[in-house]
Amino acid sequence: MTEAQGTIVVQPISNAPVAVGTNVYCQDDVVSGSPNVLGSGTLRWYTSPSGGVGNTIAPGIVTRVPGTFMYYVTQQLPNECESARTPVVVLVNRKPDVSAGPDRRIDLGASVVLTGTALGNNVRIVWSPSFTLTNSTPARPTAKPLVTTVYTIRVVTGDGCEDEDEVQVVVLQPIDIPNVFSPNGDGVHDKWLIPKVEQYPNCVMQIFNRYGG
């Protein structure tokens, strides 16, 4: 019978790293870095609570798609065994779906209802500029601008995610159509010009002589 002697070294298991809260972001946020954990030594990241091969490169946070994403991380200090896995949560909240509606055209002195929409979790709405609106917080306020104005609808969800959109209300100023011109080359009223007619891109102009021809 052969006997052998030796030393069996039992290495301790490293303490598990600590997840620093929930990593919360909004959809399409610009994020640099990886999920927050407190640890040292070698950190290994996994995509499941057991099995698989750990990656020493921390995962980057991607916010393109909303949802809850789970990662798992271990810690291994020198002369110690790999720790248990710590779950790390990354939550990406959905940003609101926002539309300010189509651009509008109104005559000077008229008003128009803006047809905004805002979909999301417990949304709050603010329109700006607000001084020509009946109310700046509903999705469909009434606007009565005196000049062409671009309105912005800004929407914030209950999760703190936000988005915005713009709509232009073109105010058509009244035009004064001259009834005479003198194309005699003296430089005075040689051309028949209608100021501000460019506001009416679909207008049709017809010229008749005194006999209707």
Query: What is the DSSP-derived secondary structure letter of residue 199?
Result: G
> Which pLDDT belongs to residue 185?
73
The reported pLDDT for the residue numbered 175 is 73
**197: three-class secondary structure by DSSP:** helix
**pLDDT value of position 72:** 97
What tokens does 54 get? Answer: 């750990």
Cα distances from 11 to residues 16, 73, 78, in angstroms, run 15, 20, 10
Question: What per-residue confidence (pLDDT) applies to 155?
Answer: 98
pLDDT of residue 211: 67
Burial of 15 (0-12, 13-18, 19+ CB in 10 A): middle
Distance, CA of 111 to CA of 132 (rounded, Å):
10
Q: What is the pLDDT of residue 137?
A: 97
List, in sequence order, every beta strand (DSSP E) within the chain.
Answer: 18-19, 23-26, 37-38, 42-46, 67-76, 86-93, 97-99, 104-107, 112-113, 117-119, 124-128, 142-143, 149-156, 162-172
Place of tokens 């303490």: 15
CB 77 within 8 A of CB 14: yes
191: number of Cβ within 10 Å? 8
Please give the chain's pLDDT, 213 residues, in tens. Answer: 677 777 776 789 999 999 988 899 999 999 888 999 999 899 999 999 999 999 999 999 999 999 999 999 999 999 999 999 999 999 999 999 999 999 999 999 999 999 999 999 999 999 999 999 999 999 999 999 999 999 999 999 999 999 999 999 999 987 766 666 667 777 776 676 666 666 667 777 776 766 665
- pTM equals 0.75
CA distances from 139 to 4, 95, 136 (A): 84, 17, 8
Among 160, 161, 165, 169, which Cα is nearest to 199's?
Answer: 169
